[in-house]
Structure 1
Amino acid sequence: MDVIRVTDRLDPHEVLEGYRKGVFPMGYLDAPVISWHLPEHRGILPIGQFHTSRSLAHTLKRARFTVTFDTAFEQVMRACAARGEGRPKDTWITERIIAVYADLHRKGHAHSVEVWVDGKLAGGTYGIHLGSAFFAESKFHTVRDMSKVALACLVQHLQAKGFTLLDVQYWTEHLSQFGVIEVSRNQYYGQLREALRLNCQF
């Protein structure tokens, strides 16, 4: 179990302090509490080693979409929380989470990538930025492959800006197709410390 503590509060300062220590929060729809997580093994996507499948490369080349940054942050968060038909009961992106991360966005600590198709939000991702680290939280799509496009564009953007760490929290088989690997907690701490020493602009 990677839960290290449970609180009944959530504020922007505490969230940022958590990320600096490798800890991130999750909410619950059925309980007014916040759990704080520190995985024993961490999923990271080495910047510069993003794997683009043939189908994704074809989608990117066709470019039948428009990509923006930080133009619809809360809309992206709400879309991530409402994946599928209706809001899943086990989503951790609660109203409290949305309110705090939206505040962090206004203060320049949280960012989003939006993918638009025919003028409608079709995919996106969002996360927290500290130093040269980006902590990706979630992604979504309503049009096929647009969450993949969002991730690909995020990686390209981070690489161009000199970021050194892209944290995706957990390794999954789905994320492994993009080049996500799993590292130990100690390895992660080493990379996190180095990333926090640099100051990149998103």
Structure 2
Amino acid sequence: MPAEPPPTIWEFPPPERFHPDDDLVATGADLEPGTVLAAYRRGLFPMPVGGRRAPMAWFSPVRRGVLRPRGLHVSRSLARSRRRFEIRLDTACAEVIDACADPRRPSGWIDGRIRAAYLRLHALGWVHSVETWRAGRLVGGLYGVAIGGLFAGESMFHHETDASKVALLGLVEVLDDGGRDRLVDTQWLTPHLASLGATETSREEYLALLPGLLEAPPQASWPAGLA
């Protein structure tokens, strides 16, 4: 079981105070483990905006991207690719985050603050990486926060064709454990994610789903934290 950190000293605004047309719902606070977990439990996630000296921004998208594990579209070509890669869990979380943070990638947002925060949560057993390896080399992967039946995906990368898709397939294999209610939060819906089976839901619908997801037992497949 993951280790529960000390509670946050900050109070996030309730949903009734969210602007109905704005994904950005709060700024400030810190990235201590208790703060980040409190945010996810309220349907928020952090993302730096405006440079290192700017206060942290917290988002709850008006239109939320989500993926039901059994809704993943597995094409024949993806099924063939699955056989080319080895899937591992939590063996290279820092490397996955660093690959996702590659400054050469367009629209990069993962800075040193985010990296440190999620590695602290990884050590406590809340953040997990799903990795694709081939010939002993890390070639793709994703990472995110697992709370109960919710996996809040943060970012993914690939160095070989289909390596990130196979990581997503590996994630679904972890989550699809006997029909329990599970959900992958993709934050926003992109054409790429839509092609894989992700859909869009309203902020209100997502927040209504959260309590049941958070109360679900965690997947036994995740490795234990380091703390």
TM-score (norm 2): 0.82
The structure-2 alpha-carbon separation of the partners of 1:66 and 1:29, relative to structure 1 and needing over 3 Å to count, comes to farther
Deviations 1:123-179 (A, max 9, x none): 000000111111011100001110000001101111127451111111111100111
Deviations 1:25-61 (A, max 9, x none): 012573323110011111100121111122212212x
**Cα-Cα RMSD:** 1.6
Count matched residues. Answer: 197
Could you say which residue in structure 2 is the equivalent of 1:66?
Answer: 86
Structure 2 unaligned segments of length 5 or more: list them.
1-21, 223-227
Partner SS, residue 143 of structure 2: strand
Corresponding position: 1:175 with 2:196: no
2:77 to 38, 55, 75: 55
Partner SS, residue 143 of structure 1: coil
Q: Where do 4+ consecutive residues of structure 1 move more than 4 Å?
A: none
Seq. identity, %: 41
Q: Is the 8 A contact 1:165 1:192 kept in 2?
A: no
Partner SS, residue 177 of structure 2: helix
Kindly indicate which of the two structures has a greater share of residues assigned to strand.
1
1:131 to 120, 143, 148: 148
Alignment of 1:55-134 (within 5 A): 55-60=77-82, 63-82=83-102, 86-88=103-105, 90-134=107-151
Shift in Å, 1:12 = 1.2
Give the Cα separation in 2 of the matches to 1:89 and 1:172: 14
Could you say which residue in structure 2 is the equivalent of 1:188?
Answer: 206
The structure-2 alpha-carbon separation of the partners of 1:116 and 1:29, relative to structure 1 and needing over 3 Å to count, comes to farther
Shift in Å, 1:185 = 1.1
TM-score (norm 1): 0.91
Shift in Å, 1:200 = 1.4
Could you say which residue in structure 1 is the equivalent of 2:63?
Answer: 41
Write the letter of the residue equivalent to 1:133.
Answer: L
Give the Cα separation in 2 of the matches to 1:8 and 1:189: 21
The structure-2 alpha-carbon separation of the partners of 1:57 and 1:196, relative to structure 1 and needing over 3 Å to count, comes to same
Shift in Å, 1:10 = 1.8
The structure-2 alpha-carbon separation of the partners of 1:17 and 1:94, relative to structure 1 and needing over 3 Å to count, comes to same
Structure 1 unaligned segments of length 5 or more: list them.
none
Could you say which residue in structure 2 is the equivalent of 1:21?
Answer: 42
Write the letter of the residue equivalent to 2:51.
Answer: D
Shift in Å, 1:186 = 1.4
